Amino acid sequence: MTALHIDAIHKQFPGVKALNGIDLSVECGEFFGLLGPNGAGKSTLINIIAGLMSADSGTVSIMGHDVKKDFRQARKNLGIVPQELVFDPFLTVRESIRLQAGYYGVGKEGYDWIDEVIDALMLTDKANVNMRALSGGMKRRVLVAQALAHKPPVIVLDEPTAGVDVELRRSLWEFIKRLHGQGHTIILTTHYLEEAEALCDRIGIIDHGKLIALDTTDNLMASGIAAISRLRITIANSPAVLPETLKPLLAKREPNELLFEYDRSKHSVLDIIDALRAADIEIVDINTEHADLEDVFMSLTGRREP
């Protein structure tokens, strides 16, 4: 069963083609990551999935329900954690979540579940506090709780950890992983490469409104596009001049350390070491690192993530 099906979505804003033909399917039970830099089109796509914005062309369905033709059913199957923090400031935490559940026809019978969610998100102490009195991190937790209030099978989180502190990020990760373990389909947008790598089974990389890569996390990591390697060399003393051939590969230089970044298909560790030795530079230690998602992104787009 397909949890989310996106077919040929286009969206033009004045002066910006935000989405330029997105096709994507996410199967039930997947933990899918939509990764891309700021302005790539992630939130626009999420807003279209949520039915909050309409596409110029193309279709989206959730658990087989078209978001336009069958909005109520589609929306019932979907929980959205939006990127922006929007609330009624005069409601308490518990009221906000119950109200949200009410939109989907969930009444008193859902209150136990709501308290469970409040507890899991460590909001119990704040359950009766007004929204306006909460910190940004606490508001973020309430957004997550609201998205879960009607127990939707498909949960979409739009940059839930952007700008949150390390502790909250960790607890959100744990909570999202738990939801995934309980059978929910998770779709997460992020511009944190390490987050997509740590959490997602499969990743789509979006840039300028186009999917530029779509594969399992493992395959992306192992593929040729991740051919960039790093070589960190500790040296006994800082050389006055470096060999000319190495200058283009030098990413960082400190008194006792040289960091090289190079394409494995063009250079080898031995070339670099030989050139250093030929220049009488004494090598104390050598460390190599293979590509991470950041390198994958760079080799796909030619840009480094900000």
* Contacting positions for Mg ion (CB under 5 A): 42-43, 83
**Member of 26, 40, 138, 196 binding ligand ADP (CB under 6 A):** 40
If the CB atoms of residues 9 and 172 are measured against ligand ADP, the closer one turns out to be: 9
Residue 162's Cβ-count burial label (10 Å; 0-12, 13-18, 19+) is middle
Q: Which does 41 bind (CB under 5 to 8 A by kind): ligand ADP, Mg ion, none?
A: ligand ADP
Q: Exactly one of 3, 6, 42, 295 binds ligand ADP (CB under 6 A); which one?
A: 42
The single residue listed with the structure tokens 């250079």 is: 267
* Amino acid at site 130: N
How many residues belong to the site for ligand ADP (CB under 6 A)? 11
d(CA 229, CA 96): 49
- Indicate the DSSP class of residue 184: -
- On the CB side of 156, CA atoms within 13 Å amount to 25
* Nearer Cβ to ligand ADP (100/189): 189
Residue 47 CB, nearest distance to ligand ADP (Å)? 8
Q: Are strands 57-62 and 65-66 parallel, antiparallel or unpaired?
A: antiparallel
Beta bridge partner(s), residue 11: 19
Q: How many CB atoms lie within 10 A of CB 247?
A: 9
Binding to ligand ADP by residue 146, rule CB under 6 A? no
Least Cβ distance, residue 109 to ligand ADP (angstroms): 36
| 38 is an interface residue for ligand ADP by CB under 6 A | yes
Give whichever of 46 and 220 is closer to Mg ion, judged by the CB atom: 46
Cβ neighbours of 250 (radius 10 Å): 14
43 scored as a contact of ligand ADP (CB under 6 A): yes
Decide if residue 44 touches ligand ADP (CB under 6 A): yes
One of 6, 32, 41, 296 touching ligand ADP (CB under 6 A): 41
Cα-based angle 159, 95, 131 (whole degrees, multiple of 5)? 55
- Which residue ranges make up the site for ligand ADP (CB under 6 A)? 13, 16, 18, 36, 38-44
